[in-house]
Amino acid sequence: MRDLSENHRWLSINTATVRKAHGQDVPLAAIFDACARKGIRAVSPWRDQVAAMGLKQAALAIQSLGLELSGYCRGGLYPAVDAAGLQAHIDDNKRAVDEACTLGAPCLVIMAGGLPGALVGGKAQHPQSKDMPRARAQAAEGMAATLAYAKSCGLPLAIEPLHPMFAADRCNINTLEQALDLCDQLDPAHSGAIGIAVDCYHVWWDPKLEQQIARIGPKRLLAFHVCDWMVPTTDMLNDRGMMGDGVIEIPSIREMVEAQGFAGYCEAEIFSTAWWNRSTQEILDACIARVKTAV
Amino acid sequence: MRDLSENHRWLSINTATVRKAHGQDVPLAAIFDACARKGIRAVSPWRDQVAAMGLKQAALAIQSLGLELSGYCRGGLYPAVDAAGLQAHIDDNKRAVDEACTLGAPCLVIMAGGLPGALVGGKAQHPQSKDMPRARAQAAEGMAATLAYAKSCGLPLAIEPLHPMFAADRCNINTLEQALDLCDQLDPAHSGAIGIAVDCYHVWWDPKLEQQIARIGPKRLLAFHVCDWMVPTTDMLNDRGMMGDGVIEIPSIREMVEAQGFAGYCEAEIFSTAWWNRSTQEILDACIARVKTAV
């Protein structure tokens, strides 16, 4: 297991972590600059932030600041009420693949989607269908189509199993076991064209955590996300904790993923209204401190 | 699969569902009376409500009103920072077993507990330990001790796997598979002395739902709880939906449990600040209507 206590060489900042400061949106260009000034080596940007900045400008800024990417957030959201809807989502995922390639991302993170119509403009609402087996089949079909395209571009897809509390609205792939079964189905040769983003927040509770991480193997371990689970959690989406403030034994999970050969970035992805009310400096300083002591 | 559309013969009311009316606590005696007046045949009371009414008075009221019980809520909450704490929790579970026998309950529902010290007076707080494997081992040890006592009283224990969002504070048994593995460990003979309470709210999201329900078998299927998952869910604890208002395909889950031989009560267990602001009559009428159309 790597010693991370000396510096923040292996910290990556998911740009959602510093999406806001003092409650106000922060432009992606300012986020990139702030990270670079702090000696942070990698980021993982979101599509909406990249679109607002402009894809080419974002790619240029990343290059000129010498930043690496630990991922690109995100593809997925496949389920739809009909075939045309699913195809539209697949087409959108191909655009996300293209963007990830332009930005030089090592993988596109895939959040499968929940039930059709349950997430509109980022807001959860009552879905158009309750048919979960069908929604899961659509997610698999959408991923297969995206994978065919991503392979032609040489870009790996990273399935991120999300916590079961998001099954209805955001992601119907909810355990590592389920995600790995899907990898086996879509890529029986274990080529590494499709793998897993392990986010501690989503998987820490799983009684099969150690068993399933041991099943991933180095080729499929594409990303490692960190934050913490607060007790109590007052908001399902935006009450994530800074590493060390909650109940997840993050170092023990890092030990498991590194035992599989993972040697990449620990990506801090913290959706938190409380932290978004502070300054960008405070958030980044806390991430830098905590990656050394609590990751 | 039974036809429930004609009457509410197989509806049971978990007394937490009508714990409050117009935002105020309702005495258990009034809950029993209201259920009996509506022709509801069964209830599942909570320990704190029974304690407030008096155990003997509660038992007498249940008998005189001709009510059956579909369960008694609840035992468990085993994890502790030390052996003395665990023993105190085991002792308390023995008292819960005695109460369940006095009331004539068919089973004691077991909510394992989360991390030690994470639930105090019903409120979640930062725990005293983050060691989840140890907390799970304590839950298994506590259940084994409770089972030995419950067997001597002839009372089955019903392990209720709770949704993974409660892993830290309420219950570290979070999937049917995990609960059934524990049943196999504690009762390899499948005697029925320990089994499962299937609550749709906690298990609906599970990709292994059908597979694991098929594993339960009739002897271990001790209780079936219904309510619905709302999208969005605004509160993790008290925003459960009335059957039919959310996204769970409850009839498909009932079909699975009845295929295992289950022929007992469908117990409505709805923790909902919104419903608790209505009258007891309204809540019971809704349960009666929905058990016919949405269960």
Residue of B nearest to A178 (CA): B207
Q: Are B266 and B10 in contact (CB under 8 A)?
A: yes
Chain A residue numbers with beta carbons less than 8 Å from the beta carbon of B231 are: 115, 118, 124-127, 168-169
CB-side neighbour CA atoms (13 Å) of B245: 20
Q: Are B164 and A165 an interchain contact pair (Cβ–Cβ within 8 Å)?
A: yes
| pLDDT exceeds cutoff 90 at B289 | yes
Q: Are A123 and B168 an interchain contact pair (Cβ–Cβ within 8 Å)?
A: no
Which two three-digit tokens encode residue B270? Answer: 């709805």
Distance CA B295, CA B282 (A): 18
CA distance A248 to chain B (A): 7
Q: What's the pLDDT tens digit per position in B156-176?
A: 999 999 999 999 999 999 999
User: What local confidence, expressed as pLDDT, does residue A41 receive?
Assistant: 98
Mean predicted lDDT score pLDDT of chain A: 98
Q: What's the pLDDT tens digit per position in B216-226?
A: 998 999 999 99
Task: Give the closest of B123, B168, B232 to A124, CB-based.
Answer: B232
User: What local confidence, expressed as pLDDT, does residue B218 receive?
Assistant: 87
Chain A residue numbers with beta carbons less than 8 Å from the beta carbon of B165 are: 163-165, 233, 236
Q: Are B125 and A231 an interchain contact pair (Cβ–Cβ within 8 Å)?
A: yes
Chain B residue numbers with beta carbons less than 8 Å from the beta carbon of A205 are: 132, 164, 167-168, 172, 174
Name A124's Cβ contacts closer than 8 Å, sequence gap at least 6. Answer: A118, A168, A169, A170, B231, B232
CA distance A80 to chain B (A): 15
User: What local confidence, expressed as pLDDT, does residue A218 receive?
Assistant: 87
Q: What's the pLDDT tens digit per position in A114-134?
A: 999 999 999 999 999 999 999
Q: Give the model's confidence band at B291: pLDDT under 50 very low, under 70 low, under 90 confident, else very high.
A: very high
Chain A residue numbers with beta carbons less than 8 Å from the beta carbon of B169 are: 231-232
- Those residues of chain B whose CB sits closer than 8 Å to some CB in chain A are 115, 118, 123-127, 130-132, 136, 163-165, 167-169, 172-175, 177-178, 204-208, 229-233, 236, 246-249
Chain B residue numbers with beta carbons less than 8 Å from the beta carbon of A131 are: 249
Task: Give the closest of A115, A163, A178 to B207, CB-based.
Answer: A178
Mutate to test the interface with B, among A170, A173, A231 (most CBs of B within 10 A): A231
Residues B56-91 as b or e (16 or more Cβ within 10 Å = b) = eebbebbeeeebbbbbbbbbbbbbbbeeebbeebbe
Distance CA B10, CA B33 (A): 18
CB atoms within 10 A of CB A263: 12
* Cα–Cα distance list, B67 to A195, B33, B40 (Å): 54, 10, 8
Parts of chain A with a pLDDT under 50: none
Q: What's the pLDDT tens digit per position in B61-116?
A: 999 999 999 999 999 999 999 999 999 999 999 999 999 999 999 999 999 999 99
Residue of A nearest to B248 (CA): A130
Q: What's the pLDDT tens digit per position in B30-54?
A: 999 999 999 999 999 999 999 999 9
Q: Are B205 and A169 an interchain contact pair (Cβ–Cβ within 8 Å)?
A: no
- Those residues of chain A whose CB sits closer than 8 Å to some CB in chain B are 115, 118, 123-127, 130-132, 136, 163-165, 167-169, 172-175, 177-178, 204-208, 229-233, 236, 246-249
* Peptide bond between residue A134 and the one before it cis (omega within 30 degrees of 0): no
Closest C-alpha to B295, from B241, B226, B246: B226
CB atoms within 10 A of CB B258: 15
Closest C-alpha to A35, from A19, A50, A47: A19
Using a pLDDT cut of 70, give the percent of chain B over it: 100
Residue of A nearest to B117 (CA): A231
Distance CA A211, CA B236 (A): 28
User: What local confidence, expressed as pLDDT, does residue A262 receive?
Assistant: 97
Q: Are B125 and A231 in contact (CB under 8 A)?
A: yes
ipTM value, please give it. Answer: 0.97
Chain B residue numbers with beta carbons less than 8 Å from the beta carbon of A206 are: 164, 174
